[in-house]
Copies of this chain bind each other. A is one copy, B any other.
Amino acid sequence: MAKVLTSRNENYSQWYQDLVIKADLAENSAVRGCMVIKPYGYAIWEKMQAELDRMFKETGHENGYFPLFIPKSFFSKEAAHVDGFAKECAVVTHYRLKNDEVNGGVMVDPDAKLEEELIVRPTSETIIWSTFKNWIQSYRDLPLLINQWANVVRWEMRTRLFLRTTEFLWQEGHTAHATKAEAIEETEKIINLYADFAENYMAVPVIKGLKTESERFAGALDTYTIEALMQDGKALQSGTSHFLGQNFAKAFDVKFASKEGKDEYVWATSWGVSTRLMGALIMAHSDDNGLVLPPKLAPFQVVIVPIYKNEEQLAAITEKVNEVITKLKAKGISVKYDSSDNRKPGWKFAQYELKGVPVRLAIGPRDLENGTVEVARRDTLTKNVTEIEGVDQYIENLLEEIQTNIFTKAFDFRKENTTKVDTYKEFKTTVKKGGFVLAHWDGTAETEDRIKNDTKATIRCLPLEYEEEEGVCVYSGNPSKRRVLFALSY
């Protein structure tokens, strides 16, 4: 069979693009920068959504829905936010088309111009805080813990499927609290939730940390992030949680009567993860044969391929397979039986390898005689033959093992590719090779900026877990008490 993917070594970026398309995850659409998410890709996203949604609800959050459009003037209300967000946006200026009598087709009706332009939401703080104003009067209305699943639009010049698209899908949490301490606790709770999800479902190890001032969300006092390392040595910011202080409450005049009867501004957080997680999932684990999916997020965890020469053999195999399927389903394991007759087994094997199905079973007439089945693991590409009796239990254990193994592999890769450096020369050569670099930094935006201009590396975060350590900034030589995390990034 012909190789369907460019190899990672040959061209990592092309490999990613090939993989997303060939594995039927997504494709570019007729609208510049907007993607079509194909059913197989969307099924993975749905699994992500289901787990995250459960985690949000278990921590007391409720879902709601706010308008797609935001009046232009709303963006000017929070000073820092306007600079960060009200720029590369899709702007609705008219509300009607009419028949084009001259050229045929339709044209924008010049008489249907909006008095105030509407912005397609790039993020919803402004429209949500203008709504919260009516929802919050007293401390009894707090905390308010709201999430929304939505599409957002940011006009990107250079787009890549899942990683950076003009329209993308995400969830955005927006919470309101009576005290600063409570809002910070919420911000931290969510970044921990995101890390839990990334590590235990996506099998992607992440570093939790704080963004520097220059990398913060526009309007936030603090931005927490989770940073993952991709196989090409670049970091991928995978989720952020923002402590917004009282900025949005002040911008939209949202006050509450405290227990003591005083009027006070509300404290806010916001946080989100997006279809970008799909990019992280794909790049963290996959290989030159295709996708490698963690069992917990695979649309189906097991595929069964019958090997047969005639209808009689197929019938006998199918009878046995149906028993296995019943047992697997009883254990909550999702399984697909591909007995289609228009493709050869070899083609099917390659296809399911490409699509990252964690476990593949193959069963032929000799297996029926011997009471055996061939089990292939996608993560290690190894095969072995086992007894069909009890294969359901075998597979249940195997799926757990695969989930753990994928995480461990990514964890080890990150460990091997995380380097402490102490000189700028070393910094530059290490950063260029890819991977995480832990180095001392003097804490100034000036140094951060110069390093970025010089090497393209950015401070991914100030990790939450770190050791205090006397040192000097690799760039300026000024004193520093801790190392921060640098990397090239997506």
Main secondary structure of the interface of A (DSSP, over half): mixed
Confirm or deny: A413 has a beta carbon within 8 angstroms of a beta carbon on chain B: no
Stretch in A116-124, A313-321, A460-468 touching the partner: A116-124
* B131 and A36 within 8 A (CB): yes
* B155 and A95 within 8 A (CB): yes
Confirm or deny: A89 has a beta carbon within 8 angstroms of a beta carbon on chain B: yes
- A257 to B: closest C-beta gap in Å: 13
The answer for the CA separation of A304 and B319 in the assembled complex, in Å, is: 50
From 46 to 100 in chain A, residues with beta carbon under 8 angstroms from any chain B beta carbon are 46, 62-76, 82, 86-98
- A165 to B: closest C-beta gap in Å: 9
Cβ contact of A64, chosen from B42, B62, B90, cutoff 8 A? B42
* B87 and A64 within 8 A (CB): no
* A127 and B29 within 8 A (CB): yes
* B105 and A95 within 8 A (CB): no
- A392 to B: closest C-beta gap in Å: 23
Among A31, A38, A134, A155, max chain B CB count under 10 A is at A31
CB-CB under 8 A from A74, the residues of chain B are 30
Where the two chains meet, the residues of A that have a C-beta atom closer than 8 Å to any C-beta of B are 27, 29-31, 34-39, 42-43, 46, 62-76, 82, 86-98, 104-108, 117-120, 127, 130-131, 134, 140, 146, 150-151, 153, 155, 167, 169, 342
* A91 and B93 within 8 A (CB): yes
* B95 and A30 within 8 A (CB): no
The answer for the CA separation of A63 and B43 in the assembled complex, in Å, is: 7
Instruction: Evaluate whether A34 and B76 lie within 8 angstroms (CB atoms) in the complex, with A91-B97, A120-B120 already known.
Output: no
**Which residue of the partner chain B has the closest CB to A26?**
B65
The answer for the CA separation of A93 and B96 in the assembled complex, in Å, is: 12
CB-CB under 8 A from A90, the residues of chain B are 69, 92, 94-95, 118
* B151 and A76 within 8 A (CB): no
Number of copies: 2
- A101 to B: closest C-beta gap in Å: 13
The answer for the CA separation of A97 and B62 in the assembled complex, in Å, is: 33
The answer for the CA separation of A30 and B107 in the assembled complex, in Å, is: 28
Cβ contact of A72, chosen from B34, B36, B82, B97, cutoff 8 A? B97
CB-CB under 8 A from A150, the residues of chain B are 151
CB-CB under 8 A from A29, the residues of chain B are 66-67, 127, 131
CB-CB under 8 A from A118, the residues of chain B are 31, 90
* B106 and A95 within 8 A (CB): no
Instruction: Evaluate whether A42 and B65 lie within 8 angstroms (CB atoms) in the complex, with A95-B88, A131-B36 already known.
Output: yes
* A98 and B87 within 8 A (CB): yes
* A76 and B106 within 8 A (CB): yes
* A89 and B96 within 8 A (CB): yes
CB-CB under 8 A from A119, the residues of chain B are 97
CB-CB under 8 A from A31, the residues of chain B are 67, 69-71, 118, 127
* B43 and A62 within 8 A (CB): yes
